[in-house]
Amino acid sequence: MSEEIGKMVVVLNHDDAQSAMAALVMAASIATSGEEVFMFFQPGAAKVLVKGELEKFQGLKGQPDPLHLYESILVLDGRIILCELGMPIHDINAEDLREGVEVMMASTFMFEIEGAKLAFSY
């Protein structure tokens, strides 16, 4: 593997436990590998980033703690980004969001991930 750090993207557009956990596991795994990870939550997944929502996925059989995964991504300089369209669609205010969430337009996100090596979508 190259010594160069590359960008990798994980996109989530569903708020069900199976999709959210798969995306969090992949993003945390990427972050621990030393790659730069960008998680992009499309409007369909916006509610996952509201305070108290990840807690609903705790204790799922055979699954790691989603709060630990989320914090690991942030501690390892991963970026957790919410598409701004998800907020008005789901009546979410900025103060409702978990700590560490960035909000941006999809077009801005596309500039941020320019040159990404891989993208995963859930």
7-121: CATH superfamily: DsrEFH-like (3.40.1260.10)
pLDDT for 5 equals 79
What residue segments make up the domains of the chain, in order of their start?
Answer: 7-121
In the block, tokens 């995306």 appear at 23
Share of the chain above pLDDT 70, in %: 97
Do 82 and 49 meet the contact criterion of CB atoms below 8 Å apart? yes
Residue 3: the pLDDT is 57
| Per-residue confidence (pLDDT) for residue 1, from 0 to 100 | 43
- Which residue has 């941020």 as its token pair? 112
Which tokens in the block code for residue 101? 């969430």
In contact, 103 and 81? CB cutoff 8 Å:
yes
Closest CA to 8 of 122, 113, 121: 113
- 42-56: average pLDDT: 98
